[in-house]
Chains A and B, each alone.
Chain A
Amino acid sequence: GDSVTQMEGPVTLSEEAFLTINCTYTATGYPSLFWYVQYPGEGLQLLLKATKADDKGSNKGFEATYRKETTSFHLEKGSVQVSDSAVYFCALSDTIQGAQKLVFGQGTRLTINP
């Protein structure tokens, strides 16, 4: 079945460092790809998404490009802030019976130190 593999954490960086969190997927068909973020004590929030190959999703300085040839959707940010500390989930959508069923990676915990 469909699956998502994320870079294992935790990841600890200093403020203003460059961030990459790797995500690769296995899917039949052409899924949409997502990054969700979970701040402490909260539910998941959509960070960005891409619906087809070569699309770039971006939000709050984060970017990810849908790479069909490498089946990847790596998350990047040029200069992280302490407020970016959270758990990040890569996900794909598998349309089953009319609904986008999300398949999540295991999550990567990111800590940014001042």
Chain B
Amino acid sequence: GQQVMQIPQYQHVQEGEDFTTYCNSSTTLSNIQWYKQRPGGHPVFLIQLVKSGEVKKQKRLTFQFGEAKKNSSLHITATQTTDVGTYFCAGPNSGGSNYKLTFGKGTLLTVNP
């Protein structure tokens, strides 16, 4: 079945440093979604990328979808303590009439103030 892998599993940074997490799918994706889960919280949708090579920005966050639509990245510039949490990518299953998301294991970001 489809697999979605994320690296790194953990990342600890000093406040103000940049952070990047990478997502790779075993299959070509029609789109990819990113979610953030604060400690003790629930996943919250951040963004969806659809087009090959697409780049979207949300303030300090930059999301990119690979040309082959099999990988994606999330880059945070100048991290803040509010960025702490686990970042998940999720891709829809390939083929069939059903649409369901497969989540990666996530990257846990901690920020030292």
Partners in one complex: no
Q: Residues of A at under 8 Å CB distance from B?
A: none
Q: Residues of B at under 8 Å CB distance from A?
A: none
